[in-house]
Amino acid sequence: MASRNIKIHEHCTVAPPSASQISLPLTFFDLFWLRFHPVERIFFYTLPTPHSHPPIFYTQVVPKLKTSLSHTLQYFSPLAGNVVWPNGSSSPVVQYTPGDAVSLVLAESESDFDHMLDNAPKEASESRCLVPHLESSDSHASVVALQITLFPNRGFAIGTTTHHAVLDGKTSTAFIKTWASMCKINDDDSESSPSLAPELEPFFDRTVIKSEKALGLNFRTNWTEILSQLFPSENSDGRCLKLLPFTPKLENRVRGAFALTGEDLEKLRNRVFSKWNSVDIVEAESKSNSRVSSTTPTKLSSFVLTCAYTSVCIAKAYAGVEKEKNKFAFGFTVDCRARLDPPIPENYFGNCVSGLLVDAKPWEYTEEEGFVIIAKSIYSKIKQMLEEGVFHGADGLASRYVNLAKEGVEIMGIAGSNRFGVYGNDFGWGKPSKVEIASIDRALTIGLAENREVKGGVEVEVVLKKPVMDLFQSLFAAGLSDE
* pLDDT tens column, 286-335: 444 443 445 889 899 999 999 999 999 999 999 999 999 999 999 999 99
Per-residue model confidence as pLDDT tens digits over 336-346 = 999 999 999 99
Torsion of CA 470, 476, 479, 480, to 10 degrees: -130
Given pLDDT bands bounded at 50, 70 and 90, which one contains residue 217? Answer: confident
Dihedral sign computed on CA atoms, order 250, 437, 447, 48: negative
pTM value is 0.95
- Say if 332 falls within a structural domain: yes
Q: Which residues does 76 contact at the CB level (< 8 Å), separation at least 6?
A: 175, 178, 202, 349
Dihedral sign computed on CA atoms, order 287, 293, 294, 296: positive
- 28-32, 83-87, 315-319, 347-351: least confidently modelled range: 28-32
Which is more confidently placed, 266 or 281? 266
- Say if 324 falls within a structural domain: yes
Instruction: Identify the CATH number of the domain in which residue 11 sits.
Output: 3.30.559.10
Determine the pLDDT at residue 176.
98
Are residue 221 and residue 257 in the same domain, yes or no? no
- Say if 218 falls within a structural domain: yes
The boundaries of the domain holding residue 22 are 6-230
Backbone angles phi, psi at 151, to 5 degrees: -105, 95
Are residue 167 and residue 288 in the same domain, yes or no? no
Among 94, 82, 104, 119, smallest CA distance to 26 is for 94
How many CB atoms sit inside 10 A of residue 289's CB?
7
Radius of gyration of the chain (CA): 22
The beta-strand segments (E) located in 152-289 are: 155-162, 253-260
Given pLDDT bands bounded at 50, 70 and 90, which one contains residue 3? Answer: very low
Are residue 173 and residue 224 in the same domain, yes or no? yes
Are residue 150 and residue 281 in the same domain, yes or no? no
Are residue 202 and residue 332 in the same domain, yes or no? no
Determine the pLDDT at residue 292.
45
Largest CA distance in the chain: 66
Among residues 215, 230, 245, the one where a domain terminates is 230
User: Structurally, how many domains does the chain consist of?
Assistant: 2
- Say if 246 falls within a structural domain: no
- Say if 14 falls within a structural domain: yes
Are residue 267 and residue 388 in the same domain, yes or no? yes
- Say if 436 falls within a structural domain: yes
CA distance 457 to 445: 20
Cβ proximity of 329 and 412 under 8 Å: yes
CA distance 218 to 27: 13
Q: Average pLDDT for residues 52-75, to the nearest whole number?
A: 96
- Say if 244 falls within a structural domain: no
Determine the pLDDT at residue 237.
78
Determine the pLDDT at residue 185.
87
Q: Average pLDDT for residues 392-406, to the nearest whole number?
A: 85
Determine the pLDDT at residue 456.
92
Determine the pLDDT at residue 282.
59
Determine the pLDDT at residue 289.
41
Determine the pLDDT at residue 122.
97
Cβ proximity of 52 and 118 under 8 Å: no
CA distance 317 to 477: 13
Ramachandran quadrant class, 165 (left: phi over 0; alpha: psi -120 to 50; beta: rest): alpha
CA distance 137 to 166: 16
- Say if 82 falls within a structural domain: yes
Residue numbers annotated as active site: 164, 426
